[in-house]
Amino acid sequence: MFTYPSGLVDENLHVPVDIPVRLTLTSEDVSHEFYIPAFRLKMDAVPGRYNSLWFQSPEPREYPIYCMQYCGTGHSDMRALVIIHKTGEFEKWMENAANFAARMPPAEAGMRLYKVRGCAQCHSTDGVAGHGPTFKNIFGHDVALKGGATVKVDENYLRESIIDPQAKIVAGFEPVMPTYKGKLKGNEITALIEFIKTLKE
């Protein structure tokens, strides 16, 4: 994922044409290796530290990005694009991307947020548990919590879990999820909840 100075997060790297771009790389899990073959750029992304590199593209095009260091079962899925925008178009893209949740149906916006805000790394949509519970068929059902209590998964529970994920830990999972308080707008949280509601049998 790529985070821009404005706080916007996107699965692809968007940059303006013919302007030097500096990237700061880090990792939240294991070591990766950021690689853009077209620019012969390669740099490690390591947990707990920052590495940086810069590049400049003379023409608007799309180029593939890969992870060149085996990083686990999802290694082959770590692909993205660097999208070089024509003069004046990068700013338009930034404005539109920052407000996509307001322009899309909530569940559709929620699906996009699920992919770009890191939810997919821990919460599957196919019933297979990851670092966190699967989202499939979870809405409206009771889940067991650490300590023996149970809670019904409704809108309030999901909102609390996004803002204060340590408040109620599902049995069998570790309290590793970071808070998204201040990172997601109210309509974005609502969109994520609406997306989770659609994941039924």
Q: Tell me which of 3-12, 36-45, 123-132 is least confident.
A: 3-12
Same domain, 85 and 126: no
| Whole-angstrom distance, CA of residue 200 vs CA of residue 34 | 36
| Whole-angstrom distance, CA of residue 192 vs CA of residue 81 | 24
The mean pLDDT value for 6-26 works out to: 90
Query: Looking at residue 161, which CATH number applies to its domain?
Result: 1.10.760.10
pLDDT tens digits, 89-111: 999 998 888 777 777 889 998 99
Domain edge (last residue) among 98, 118, 134: 98
Same domain, 132 and 82: no
The mean pLDDT value for 181-186 works out to: 88
Q: Tell me which of 1-5, 39-43, 134-138, 147-151 is least confident.
A: 1-5
Residue 11 near residue 2, CB atoms below 8 Å = yes
Same domain, 119 and 56: no
pLDDT tens digits, 138-171: 999 999 999 899 999 999 999 999 999 999 999 9
| Whole-angstrom distance, CA of residue 192 vs CA of residue 110 | 4
Query: Looking at residue 52, which CATH number applies to its domain?
Result: 2.60.40.420
pTM of the model: 0.66
Query: Could you list the residue range(s) of the whole structural domain that residue 155 is in?
Result: 105-197
Number of folded domains that form the chain: 2
